[in-house]
Structure 1
């Protein structure tokens, strides 16, 4: 297995010299795959690096602008724990983490409609704030999830119609 990974055509690296919001980058030198290393979810870069070498066709540039339609990747396990989002990224051996209500609203909205609209509405009602403020907060939180590889662009066949 080690020999395969060392000779794999996709060479991923961790880049601690470039950070976004204090989080280092993990990227492939042979394709477009890039994302932030979320240190609460990923115990170092190796799990992600090995995962990409084993799944080179699932190469998403998570540092690109966030798409309009989103999906939850198959490697993400999530559930509600109390009023919180419990999330685990199975690509690495990280312990998983709990995230607040905004994140739970985002995952529910993406699962239901591949968009953030339901999360914006839920955040507006829960916090009793203006929709524009709720949208900005939800989009900022979703961008963080997208940059860390916890959300991905939805394929056209995944789009839910309402």
Structure 2
């Protein structure tokens, strides 16, 4: 069955429009600074239906950065680009940099929680809440580890 991804401007995630597929569970937020319109993402999904992840679901404990995301530290910031689209890229905050460094090393957010607890001299519960809030806002830029991926309906 062919996949027919669409931009759904009536459905919003954290204030942003959503792109999704009518034929499987793929969905993610459309970030205005990372994606030059929805078309790159829609074409990407049609060409890669086996990589369909519903990024609007709650993030699992184990996360990698997908191969289509380029990221690097730019001073205290996370600099990020999504290769699926023509967007210019974006700078994100220190919490997001800690998240990406954490999942690169151990696929979890615990390292990020520990780093921000020490860096900010705050309680671990506060650091965890901050990290989880920042991670939730990265839909489409993080994905479940391969053993946790949903099966595609392709």
CA distance in 2, matches of 1:85, 1:52: 25
2:125 paired residue among 126, 132, 136: 132
Within 5 Å, give how 1:1-162 maps onto structure 2.
Answer: 9-145=2-138, 147=139, 149-156=140-147
Structure exhibiting the larger radius of gyration computed from Cα positions:
1
**TM-score with structure 2 length normalisation?**
0.93
1 or 2 for the larger relative contact order (CA 8 Å, sep ≥6)?
2
CA apart distance, 1:64: 1.3
SS in 2 for 1:152: coil
CA apart distance, 1:156: 3.4
Indicate the RMSD between aligned Cα atoms, in angstroms: 1.3
CA distance in 2, matches of 1:11, 1:86: 31
Gaps of 5+ in 1: 1-7, 158-162
Gaps of 5+ in 2: 149-154
Aligned length: 148
SS in 2 for 1:115: coil
Q: What's the CA shift string for 1:25-80, capped at 9, x where partnerless? A: 10000111001111111111001000001111100011112111101100000011
